[in-house]
Amino acid sequence: MSKWVDRMVGEGYGERMSGIRVATVQDANAIARVHVESWRTTYAGIVPEAYLASLEVEQREGSWREWLGLDVDVFVAEVDGEVVGFVGGGAIREPVEGFDGELFAIYLLREAQRRGIGMALLKRLAGSLKKRRLGSMVAWVLEDNSSGGFYSRSGGVRVASKEMEVGGVMLPVVAYGWNDLRTIGAGVARGSA
């Protein structure tokens, strides 16, 4: 029942095809694996190592099974049938003035990054949120996360900041905002996300 929403040749994957599709409960384990692996590579040196080491795919899988049953939009990116990334979002959870949608999470395995897959996921989520009659979106990101450039290249601008507890420590987070979902990724060269 996998319906391809977008197809592209994944740069760096040779001629192997990748696609983006709606996530199902059957994807919970694959999403959990990407979630844990990407946290360990993306947040090393930012989030306490003990916290990263404590992350377990099985625990995240249970959380994702629940999450996929909620009224949220979740999409996975596949290369040769393997889930290499995901994105999730919906109505904003914590008010940020002028925004009605929220990017809850976007993660890719390290080898899937900088090949256009992240931008394709972001655009797919934006299209889905527009169908929900949402017109704008924010994403809360750890300030020291090196992916801040991805959000900027896709048209996001810093609109708010706060602190968030992760692994027993308070860390600064910033909100990137897109005032108009239709502009996400406009003018971005392929291979930059």
Under 8 Å between Cβ of 27 and 65: no
Architecture of the structural domain at 6-183: 3-Layer(aba) Sandwich (3.40)
Q: What is the pLDDT of residues 30-65, one digit of tens each?
A: 999 999 999 999 999 999 999 999 999 999 999 999
Phi and psi of 169, rounded to 5°? Answer: -125, 150
- Indicate the domain borders of the chain: 6-183
| Whether pLDDT at 14 is above 80 | no
Q: Tokens at residue 39, please?
A: 């946290």
The stretch 75-86 carries a mean pLDDT of: 96
Q: Which residue has the tokens 């959380």?
A: 63
- Per 3-state DSSP, what percentage of the chain is helix, strand, and coil (rounded to 5)? 30, 35, 35
Q: What is the pLDDT of residues 167-181, one digit of tens each?
A: 999 999 999 999 999
Under 8 Å between Cβ of 107 and 42: yes
